[in-house]
Structure 1
Amino acid sequence: MKKIYLVSSSLILMALMSGCGEKMVQSHSETKAMAYEGVSEAVMMPEPMEYRGGNIVADVMYYPPIQMPSVAVVAPNTESYKHNEQNKFIEVSSSPLSTFSTDVDTASYSNVRRMLDANSLPPKDAVRTEEFVNYFSYNYKEPTTNEPFFINLKVDDALWNKKHKLIQIGLQSKKANIAKLPPSNLVFLLDVSGSMNDENKLPLLKKSLKLLVNQLRAEDKVSIVVYAGSSGLVLDRAKGSEKEKIINALDKLEAGGSTAGGEGIRLAYEIAKKSFIKNGNNRVILATDGDFNVGQSSESELIELIEEKKKSGVYLSILGFGMGNYKDDKVEALADKGNGNYAYIDNLLEAKKVLVTQMSGTLYTVAKDVKVQVEFNPQKVSSYRLLGYENRKMANEDFNDDKKDAGEVGMGHSVTALYEVVLNDGTNSSKVDKLKYQTAVVNPSDELATVKIRYKEPKADSSRLMSRVVSFQNSDISDVDSKFIQSVVGFSMILRNVEEKGDLTYNKVLSLAKASKGSDDEGYRAEFIKMIENAMLSK
């Protein structure tokens, strides 16, 4: 093999600086260029070029730098999601009550859509059934009394098991009259750390918030707090009419530094408190990828901070951005504990949905600490399973405890919950012996269950109760909406690959979604159909 001699740049530099006319001693190290299989000749050391430097160094051989082929470096995926075990069937004879907190978050749906658009199936824990269902609006009846909700009910056959029934519960809050909404005191808390530098992070964040800014009224106020290595106030209480001033402040933001989320949250709540509007809408809007990696970074510490600050009467909305390092588990935990809601923004159309079309629901709370408790009739129902809400389940005694925190519902928002039930056919299907000392039902009825709702008005400390009976006669939810809801639930079950899905397939879900698309003015149901098709290509 031909020997190739390498001369270090430091050796040449020393020779040039010495100014000596004597011949340089050529005793540099000898290196063999080994031939590796699969390496082209272009990668091997080129022929040397001769350098003759007057009276300095004679015959110093200079070798040009080797041009190695470029290799694309792919950043590791460090996204994180909280694991929740799928709800299982529960015997009514041993546990007739089921209690959970409401949830109007939709982040899971748009986050999974982002993955499917990239032809990648989501991790199971990224799929939260209730957030898939609650992403869509349904033709629910609205309240006609002073109550904040109307309880819509329907009983239908379960798509994935015709022997089972599906109890559908739809809470619909009052729709908004924008002109009559109270003034807003908004604090944008923006993550401008180095991890937010990607196009689908800070640049998309700016564009998204500009959509919201254009909806503000003169009586509204906006402050901007940023955090990276340290926190700072960028804009202090600009009027809603000063749109150019607010937009200019957004345009100047650049990403850089590490993330110290705790300090930013503290400062944002302090600013919100200073600008507090009595009887107004006081809210911090946190926009982040959730990558809190410096400072007060542990999830428990951040949650404690949020729980402390929400006592001030300031609500929290969280907008998630980005991919690759997205920390869904941290962001969701903060939203759950901060009297707020959580959406994931994967494109500008989603930003328009959250911050323009559904602005009143995102920003204005009509009821807080909203809890649902369902009591099943053991004479009619043998067992039940709550679909979704795995991380929202509550102890039954917490339902009447006004000190226990629960979810918030915004103006015009709807909340949908579903129970898959096995009817009681008179046989004892329980795994335990029939109980001897249970109270007999003197007047058995056609009631399958009773749905009870507890809620507090936004400024109240005491809850109010409302309830409604479930029976086969309930028909508040249209057949089109009922079938579409089932297609969404079925799709989430397939993505999570749960045992209860039975022989459910993408094709069956796709067929039902197409048949129940309805009017679909906003195009969201058509987009869902596309998601199913993307999943079929990605499997």
Structure 2
Amino acid sequence: MKKLLHLMLLSQFVSIAEATAFGQIVSGRITDQGDGSPIPGVNIVKKGSTLGTASDVNGHYQIELDPADKNIIVFSFLGYVTQEVDVGKRTVVDVTLSADVQQLQEVVVTGLASQLQGRVAGVSVVTRGRKKQQYQPVSQESYAKIEESGFQKVTKKPLSTFSVDVDGASYSNMRRYIESGSLPPKDAVRIEEMINYFDYDYAQPEGETPFSVNYELSSSPWNKKSLLLHIGLQGRKIEMDQLPPSNIVFLIDVSGSMSDPDKLPLLKSSLRLLVQHLRPVDRVAMVVYAGSSGLVLPSTDGDRKDVILAALDKLSAGGSTAGGEGLKLAYKVAARNFIEEGNNRIVLATDGDFNVGLQSNDEMEQLIEEERKRGISISVLGFGRGNIKDDKMEIIADKGNGNYSYIDNLLEAQKVLVSEFGGTFFTIAKDVKFQLEFNPVHVAEYRLIGYENRILDDEDFDNDKKDAGEIGAGHTVTALYEIVPAGKKGTASGLKYQNSQPSEVALISNDLVTLKLRYKKPDGFRSQLVEFVVKDEPVALEATSANFRFSASVAQFGMLLRDSDKKGSATWESTYELAINARGDDPKGYRAEMIRLVETASLLDTPLDN
């Protein structure tokens, strides 16, 4: 049972309580009553508050309480009976959780090469085309339609141009679906965001270019007739104390739809994590919106954490959603406190609904683009389920030179707002574009995996007025191309009435592809060009790096979730094996978590017995 239920982020636990000299430190270990194994990722919250933490990979937790209060701790986790414990004066509280048989529906399936008996959340069984699936209703969630990119003939389209993307929202949202007992909708799966959720072990940049460029070429794990080209960028890492000062405006949705525990309460707990890491040179303001918008905290020095946290704690949900008016007010506050050569940014935290005020995407895009030109960026944090407007939130972040993240638990908040603080909020290169030119002598066809909503016209590559993606401090960006070599049977028949004439350079060289990148400095207006050549010298898959093989396993995972017709020979079992053998150094357990998600998705993708 634990293989199916222990689907949590494997990261060290985080306490969100502000330290006090006289606090009551309570710690302990949470285990499964059935087999005594530790349960990572259990939600641990002081009853009647937003104060909480989560258990680590070994089931351990620690939380600081006020000894003057009546402290009751609530322990909850999907598939287990929630427990409430009156702590009293104790400092050690160990808990065993028992399976909630009423919440779970038992299914017996054949897992990855072994018989597994598990339990999944009881949901309706519907058909998604190929076999029975288990799904929860999507409710009012909305996702932009994704038309998966097909193979392009090099003789017709020798250039491939796209904008970078470092958002990770699709991965954590996908995880939320699987942990809730269902597969995600196809359009909720953006493969490039799944790939870029993970860090990869790329070399740090040298010289003035703010990122390094890395590439590998090998056979495709899911198609023996194809090659796979792995391209990775590594943004320069900057220590926290070396980052420029921040002028941050929290724009917080406190409308009635935010009252659920995984919305405003989790939002408040998440922002507490960020507040704890602010420096005296940083400044924070807070704007809220519901039936109307208002400034609840003027711009405040980052070392006045008690003032910031007090304002955060007072927030409550109610009313409709005046998102447009809140956005305008947040930009006014950010402009009033603008820091030259600093990080001026709005952090929009919402379930995604903007149903009063600015409604159309065009109106919001125009406002956001104008403010972006003035040096104010916007990042988006999505919360909750049932009301996610994923398509609108992605537009806001893309047009605002920011990131879009989906926060499904405190450990994800820790990852986005603390561990990856620099990459999330500090841009080191903007308007970053790729353009690849394929050599027709060696390449018959190619396809870019994912990035469907980041495709650019080829002429946009040299157009410095065209907006593109950003790279943050320490961030990695990874892209994969599936390539059909020339002279081998591809996805379409050869041309009958025309034939391209390769240049002499193409005929005599061993160049597979020329890779070009354009980028601007954070405060720049003219792009700079870097260029590399990838030779037609593939290595055996076994000789590739863990970076190559793990990113390929994530791509396979995404294709299986989308039921892609490009998935070739990929199966849940082959994806599992590819990932587990490429796990590599995984100190925070993110890769191990994905391996468990693959295993669980395979169970959810198995038809139930009649």
TM-score over 0.5 (shorter chain):
yes
Q: Give CA-to-partner distance per residue, 1:433-487, whole Å, 9 cap, x none.
A: 3635735325521110011110010101100000111124588x95212111111
Say whether 1:414 aligns with 2:476.
Answer: yes
Say whether 1:450 aligns with 2:514.
Answer: yes
Q: Give CA-to-partner distance per residue, 1:360-384, whole Å, 9 cap, x none.
A: 0001000111110000011110000
Q: State whether residues 115 and 122 of structure 1, in contact with CA within 8 Å, keep that contact through their aligned partners in structure 2.
A: yes
Instruction: Give the match for residue 429 of structure 2.
Output: 367
Q: Between Structure 1 and Structure 2, how many residues are aligned?
A: 465
Say whether 1:464 aligns with 2:464.
Answer: no
Instruction: Give the match for residue 258 of structure 1.
Output: 320
Q: State whether residues 153 and 474 of structure 1, in contact with CA within 8 Å, keep that contact through their aligned partners in structure 2.
A: no
Q: Give CA-to-partner distance per residue, 1:78-130, whole Å, 9 cap, x none.
A: 11100010000000011100000000000000000000001111000000000
Q: State whether residues 139 and 478 of structure 1, in contact with CA within 8 Å, keep that contact through their aligned partners in structure 2.
A: no
Say whether 1:127 aligns with 2:212.
Answer: no
Instruction: Give the match for residue 38 of structure 1.
Output: none
Selected match of 2:559 from 486, 489, 493: 493
Q: TM-score, normalised by structure 2?
A: 0.74
Instruction: Give the match for residue 115 of structure 2.
Output: none
CA distance in 2, matches of 1:156, 1:425: 17
Residue 306 of structure 1: SS of its match in structure 2?
helix
Instruction: Give the match for residue 526 of structure 1.
Output: 592
Q: State whether residues 87 and 386 of structure 1, in contact with CA within 8 Å, keep that contact through their aligned partners in structure 2.
A: yes
Where do 5+ consecutive residues of structure 1 fail to align?
A: 1-73
CA distance in 2, matches of 1:348, 1:469: 43
Per-residue deviation, 1:305: 1.8
Say whether 1:168 aligns with 2:230.
Answer: yes
Give the letter aligned to residue 558 of structure 2. S
The structure having more radius of gyration, on CA atoms, is 1
Per-residue deviation, 1:180: 1.2
Q: Give CA-to-partner distance per residue, 1:209-236, whole Å, 9 cap, x none.
A: 1111111100100000001111100111
Instruction: Give the match for residue 234 of structure 1.
Output: 296
Q: Indicate the larger mover: 518-527 or 76-85.
A: 76-85
CA distance in 2, matches of 1:145, 1:307: 31
Give the letter aligned to residue 409 of structure 1. I
CA distance in 1, matches of 2:498, 2:489: 13
Q: State whether residues 443 and 485 of structure 2, in contact with CA within 8 Å, keep that contact through their aligned partners in structure 1.
A: yes
Instruction: Give the match for residue 504 of structure 2.
Output: 441
Instruction: Give the match for residue 432 of structure 1.
Output: 495
CA distance in 1, matches of 2:372, 2:559: 34
Selected match of 2:221 from 150, 159, 162: 159
Instruction: Give the match for residue 269 of structure 1.
Output: 331
Selected match of 2:455 from 390, 393, 409: 393
CA distance in 1, matches of 2:302, 2:536: 50
Instruction: Give the match for residue 465 of structure 2.
Output: 403
- Would the alpha carbon gap of residues 385 and 426 (structure 1) be closer, same or farther in structure 2, given more than 3 Å must change? closer
Say whether 1:355 aligns with 2:417.
Answer: yes
CA distance in 2, matches of 1:249, 1:227: 14
Instruction: Give the match for residue 382 of structure 2.
Output: 320
Where do 5+ consecutive residues of structure 2 fail to align?
A: 1-135, 606-610
Identity percentage of aligned residues = 54
Say whether 1:536 aligns with 2:599.
Answer: no
Selected match of 2:247 from 175, 185, 194: 185
Per-residue deviation, 1:516: 1.1
Residue 188 of structure 1: SS of its match in structure 2?
strand
CA distance in 2, matches of 1:471, 1:166: 13
Give the letter aligned to residue 384 of structure 1. Y
Q: Give CA-to-partner distance per residue, 1:494-522, whole Å, 9 cap, x none.
A: 00011111231111101111111112001
Selected match of 2:371 from 297, 303, 309: 309
- Would the alpha carbon gap of residues 426 and 259 (structure 1) be closer, same or farther in structure 2, given more than 3 Å must change? closer
Query: Once superposed, what is the RMSD of the aligned Cα atoms?
Result: 1.7
CA distance in 1, matches of 2:493, 2:578: 33
Q: State whether residues 380 and 397 of structure 2, in contact with CA within 8 Å, keep that contact through their aligned partners in structure 1.
A: yes
Q: TM-score, normalised by structure 1?
A: 0.84
- Would the alpha carbon gap of residues 250 and 182 (structure 1) be closer, same or farther in structure 2, given more than 3 Å must change? same
Per-residue deviation, 1:427: 8.3
Larger helix proportion of the pair: 1
CA distance in 1, matches of 2:327, 2:489: 57
Instruction: Give the match for residue 138 of structure 1.
Output: 200
Q: State whether residues 324 and 356 of structure 2, in contact with CA within 8 Å, keep that contact through their aligned partners in structure 1.
A: no
Q: State whether residues 279 and 302 of structure 2, in contact with CA within 8 Å, keep that contact through their aligned partners in structure 1.
A: yes
CA distance in 1, matches of 2:552, 2:153: 23
Per-residue deviation, 1:311: 1.5
CA distance in 2, matches of 1:246, 1:227: 17
Q: State whether residues 219 and 239 of structure 1, in contact with CA within 8 Å, keep that contact through their aligned partners in structure 2.
A: yes
CA distance in 1, matches of 2:477, 2:493: 32
Say whether 1:222 aligns with 2:284.
Answer: yes
